[in-house]
Amino acid sequence: MAALRDIASGPVQVAGGGGAHPPSRGRTAIFLLAVLLILPFFPSSVTGTEEYAEETGRACAACHLDPSGSGELTAAGESYQRERTAAGHPAPGTARWRHTVRFSAGFLHLFTAVLWFGTILYVHLLLKPSYAARGLPRGELIVGWGSIILIALTGVVLTVLRIRSVGDLFHTRFGILLTVKIVLYLVMVSTAVIVTFIVGPRLKKREGTIAPGKKDMTVDELASYDGKEGRPAYFAFDGRIYDATGSPPWKEGSHVGRHLAGFDLSDALKQAPHGKEKVDLMPAIGILLREGVAHRAPLHLKGFYFMAYFNLGLVVAILFIVALWRWW
């Protein structure tokens, strides 16, 4: 490991050159990645593992304040650690592969969770769930279900390597928090199943037919003119309907990734950095009709919005559990 530190801190000599040059960003990234990949294979002289418990015949609580076997050591644990260090004993042989598997599974588990949760937060806080109100984008479905599968697989591996018995899930602090996190995950999977196979197809059917030459329309009729798959891109602002089909900033019916065609954007565009003069540059083609009877959103659309924000709450709850896990 000393050699690795020398490489990381020292300059890079260029073959045939007369000077030292700092490593490029690409080389630095490759080096850090290599260190992360090989680090688990370097055994520590003292590493608390499940093998130690099997070797001594004691429970994890004999050496750790946390009964699940992590964190601060007890007096007995510190004494055992000093004895092994003085004797120069490495970690038990099987600990190496367990550490490697745990590290790899933990990294993939964390990376996938960040990807999945980050997508959910981005959609809810920036794009808003309305962008998927006429059908779930294929890319989001791929990210969502790919993350669900990877989190399940890596979660099982990490649980098997950490939990010694089913009772630990209900009688240790680590196990209780893990159980709560698993329950929240399963609830998120359930909502994903409902949205993907029940709500999603109904949202797709909600798209109406394009009526050539139609100008004045209701909010529901406007929803079909979303600028995708060759359809015109219309949006409403202050009671008028504008045609953004030929505008470069409205490519594929999306303006700067936040405002979508097919909607009444009166409130959203009032918060834009530009004024109404930019909207007036586009042709006004009709009037947004106000229905005499208050429009009621269909049940499946209400369910979609409910589960969208419900999932956002679950993400916050899981992040809270993880923070509590590290602090408590």
Q: Please, which pLDDT band fits residue 44 given cuts at 50, 70 and 90?
A: very low
Q: What is the mean pLDDT of the chain?
A: 74
- Mean pLDDT over residues 130-145, rounded? 77
Q: Which whole number is the average pLDDT over 27-36?
A: 52
Question: CB–CB of 143/116 below 8 Å?
Answer: yes
Over residues 281-306, the mean pLDDT reads 73
pLDDT at 150: 95
Mean pLDDT of 310-320: 90
Above 60 in pLDDT, residue 68?
A: no
Half-sphere exposure of 318 (CA within 13 A, CB side): 22
Tokens 């790919």 belong to residue: 146
Nearest to 136 by CA among 190, 199, 186, 188: 199
pLDDT of the residue at 15: 35
In this structure, of 46-50, 68-72, 223-227, the range with the lowest mean pLDDT score is: 46-50
pLDDT, tens digit (0-9, with 9 covering 90-100), for 160-184: 888 878 888 888 888 888 999 999 9
Of the candidates 178, 175, 39, the residue with the CA atom closest to the CA atom of residue 103: 39
The domain defined by 219-287 carries CATH number 3.10.120.10: yes
What pLDDT is stored for residue 151 in this prediction?
Answer: 95
pLDDT band at 55 (very low <50, low <70, confident <90, very high): low
Q: What angle do CA 247, 252, 257 make, to 5 degrees?
A: 90
Q: How far is CA 27 from the centre of its chain?
A: 28
pLDDT at 27: 55
Q: Are 263 and 130 in contact (CB under 8 A)?
A: yes
Q: Is the Cβ–Cβ distance between 279 and 237 less than 8 Å? A: yes
> Is the predicted pLDDT of residue 93 greater than 60, yes or no?
no
Is the pLDDT assigned to residue 48 strictly greater than 80? Answer: no
pLDDT at 17: 38
Answer with the residue of higher pLDDT: 89 or 91: 89
3-state secondary structure the chain: CHHHHHHHHCCEECCCCCCEECCCHHHHHHHHHHHHHHHHHCCCCCCCCHHHHHHHCCCHHHCECCCCCCCCECHHHHHHHHHHHHHCCCCCHHHHHHHHHHHHHHHHHHHHHHHHHHHHHHHHHHHCHHHHCCCCCHHHHHHHHHHHHHHHHHHHHHHHHHCCCCCHHHHCHHHHHHHHHHHHHHHHHHHHHHHHHHHHHHHHHCCCCCCCCCCCECHHHHCCCECCCCCCEEEEECCEEEECCCCHHHHHHEECCCEECCCECHHHHHCCCCCHHHHHCCCEEEEECCCCCCCCCCHHHHHHHHHHHHHHHHHHHHHHHHHHHHHC
Instruction: Identify whether the C-beta of residue 253 lies closer than 8 Å to the C-beta of residue 227.
Output: yes
pLDDT for residue 263 is more than 80: yes
Least confident of 15-24, 183-192, 213-222, 281-290: 15-24
Q: What percent of the chain has pLDDT over 70?
A: 66
Chain position carrying tokens 């659309």: 301
Which of the residue ranges 89-93, 116-120, 222-226, 254-258 would you say has the lowest mean pLDDT? 89-93
Calculate Rg over the CA atoms of the chain.
28
Instruction: State pLDDT tens for residues 197-255.
Output: 888 787 766 554 555 556 788 887 787 788 887 888 899 988 899 999 888 888 888 88
- Residue 47, pLDDT > 70, answer no
Task: Tell me the mean pLDDT in the region 96-120.
Answer: 87
Token pair for residue 57? 């015949």
Do residues 66 and 173 touch, judged by C-beta distance below 8 A?
yes
Q: 36-45, 79-88, 306-315 — which one is most confidently predicted on average?
A: 306-315
pTM of the full predicted structure?
0.55
